[in-house]
């Protein structure tokens, strides 16, 4: 009796080189839109006016915390807004040239107002790194992870440790604060990259939210949230499990289905599906 040959399954290669917070969130929200952007590397989805304003704010703070005077830092952010081409922006209901021009004026005013709120009394830190970008391998994780940290600063609560600072320009303050899952997951991506790159203990992830519209009741335009990694041991375990499960999911043979209810990329993902632009793996 002949013995059947044992068939050894060849381990599939992951379709991406690394996970980042944005790619993981995109995959969980809309796998087909994720496939287009992060596997096929097609970046033709227009950005939103709010995202442009937020990016301009980050550009200004990148210069400010690098030692540039406030007025020049503000100008750098304004130049960023003005240099984004019309075709790169989803103007929504604004279709005519006049409507788009008015929308752009509103974007500039919103940016100037928001960055003005932040720089009126900017948080002070001993800055060790600005816009720190890294891709690192982490023991126990299936593929590398990538993160960009707005600031890496000396920790004020633990000598020899560092804190990570993140800035967000928002229409309204986040509910849940430091316990918000999005903050915790983002914090852990940044924790591992900064720990590997700086070779120091990472103690806290600090989020500053700056509200873009003026509070009618005179309340502060800024809120500060803090995630102390020493108090989040369980979240590290969940983070590892989530990345293992997500990696296992993207490595299996599957059909990527659209999510038409996705408020950001629902229509685009359905168009990809309708036109059969992504083959079944």
Give 116-163 pLDDT, tens digit per residue: 999 999 999 999 999 999 999 999 999 999 999 999 999 999 999 999
Q: Write down the pTM of the prediction.
A: 0.85
Rounded distance between C-alpha atoms, residue 71 and residue 119, angstroms = 10
Q: What is the pLDDT of residue 273?
A: 42
On whether the CB atoms of residues 117 and 222 are closer than 8 A, the answer is yes
On whether the CB atoms of residues 205 and 179 are closer than 8 A, the answer is no
Q: What is the pLDDT of residue 102?
A: 97
Cα distance between the two ends of the chain: 37
176 φψ region: left (φ > 0), alpha (ψ -120 to 50), beta (else): left
Q: What is the pLDDT of residue 42?
A: 86
Q: What is the pLDDT of residue 255?
A: 66
Q: Please enumerate in sequence order all residues whose Cβ is within 8 A of that of 90, keeping only pairs 6 or more positions apart, or say none.
A: 46, 47, 48, 49
Rounded distance between C-alpha atoms, residue 206 and residue 190, angstroms = 11
On whether the CB atoms of residues 92 and 115 are closer than 8 A, the answer is no
Q: Please enumerate in sequence order all residues whose Cβ is within 8 A of that of 101, keeping only pairs 6 or more positions apart, or say none.
A: none
User: In terms of pLDDT, which residue wins out, 270 or 80?
Assistant: 80
Q: Is the pLDDT of residue 275 over 70?
A: no
Where does the pLDDT of residue 174 fall: very low under 50, low under 70, confident under 90, or very high at 90 and above? Answer: confident
- Which alpha helices (H) appear in the chain, and where do they start and end? 21-29, 31-34, 49-64, 70-83, 97-120, 181-198, 233-251, 266-274
Q: What is the pLDDT of residue 265?
A: 55
Distance (Å) of CA 104 to CA 40, 126, 159? 31, 35, 46
Where does the pLDDT of residue 259 fall: very low under 50, low under 70, confident under 90, or very high at 90 and above? Answer: low
Rounded distance between C-alpha atoms, residue 143 and residue 205, angstroms = 23
Given 3.90.320.10, 3.30.9.10, 3.90.850.10, 3.40.640.10, which CATH number is that of 127-248?
Answer: 3.90.320.10
Rounded distance between C-alpha atoms, residue 214 and residue 242, angstroms = 38
Q: Please enumerate in sequence order all residues whose Cβ is within 8 A of that of 7, keeping only pairs 6 or more positions apart, or say none.
A: none
Q: What is the pLDDT of residue 260?
A: 60
Rounded distance between C-alpha atoms, residue 28 and residue 181, angstroms = 13
Q: What is the pLDDT of residue 9?
A: 41
- The helix/strand/coil state of 153 is strand
User: In terms of pLDDT, which residue wins out, 243 or 253?
Assistant: 243
Using one digit for the tens of pLDDT, what is the confidence trace for 40-71? 898 888 899 999 999 999 999 999 999 999 99
Rounded distance between C-alpha atoms, residue 175 and residue 180, angstroms = 7
Rounded distance between C-alpha atoms, residue 15 and residue 196, angstroms = 24
Q: Is the pLDDT of residue 261 over 60?
A: no
- Element holding 161 (H helix, E strand): none
Mean pLDDT of the chain: 88
Q: Is the pLDDT of residue 5 over 50?
A: no
Give strand pairing partners of 151.
130, 165
Where does the pLDDT of residue 11 fall: very low under 50, low under 70, confident under 90, or very high at 90 and above? Answer: low
Q: Which ranges in the chain are annotated with CATH 3.90.320.10?
A: 127-248
Where does the pLDDT of residue 276 fall: very low under 50, low under 70, confident under 90, or very high at 90 and above? Answer: low
């Amino acid at each position: 009796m002949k013995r059947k040959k044992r068939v050894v399954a060849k381990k599939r290669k992951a379709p991406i080189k690394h996970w980042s917070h944005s790619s993981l969130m995109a995959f969980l929200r809309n796998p087909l839109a994720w496939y287009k952007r992060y596997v096929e590397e097609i970046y033709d989805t227009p950005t939103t006016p709010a995202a442009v304003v937020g990016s301009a704010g980050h550009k200004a703070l990148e210069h400010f915390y690098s030692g540039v005077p406030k007025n020049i830092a503000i100008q750098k952010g304004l130049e960023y807004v003005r240099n984004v081409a019309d075709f790169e922006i989803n103007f929504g209901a604004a279709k005519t040239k006049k409507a788009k021009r008015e929308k752009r004026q509103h974007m500039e005013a919103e940016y100037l107002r928001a960055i003005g709120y932040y720089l009126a009394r900017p948080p002070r830190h001993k800055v060790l790194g600005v816009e720190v970008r890294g891709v690192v391998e982490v023991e126990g994780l299936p593929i590398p992870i990538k993160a960009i940290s707005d600031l890496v600063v000396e920790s004020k609560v633990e000598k020899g440790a560092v804190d990570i600072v993140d800035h967000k320009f928002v229409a309204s303050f986040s509910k849940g604060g430091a316990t918000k899952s999005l903050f915790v997951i983002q914090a852990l991506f940044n924790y591992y990259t900064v720990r590997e790159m700086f070779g120091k203990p990472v103690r806290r992830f600090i989020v500053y939210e700056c509200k873009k519209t003026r509070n009618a009741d005179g309340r502060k335009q800024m809120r500060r949230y803090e995630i102390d990694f020493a108090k989040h041991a369980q979240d590290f375990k969940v983070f590892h499990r989530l990345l293992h499960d997500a990696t296992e999911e993207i490595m299996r043979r599957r059909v990527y289905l659209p999510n038409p209810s996705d408020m950001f990329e629902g229509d685009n993902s359905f168009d990809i599906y309708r036109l059969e632009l992504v083959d079944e793996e």
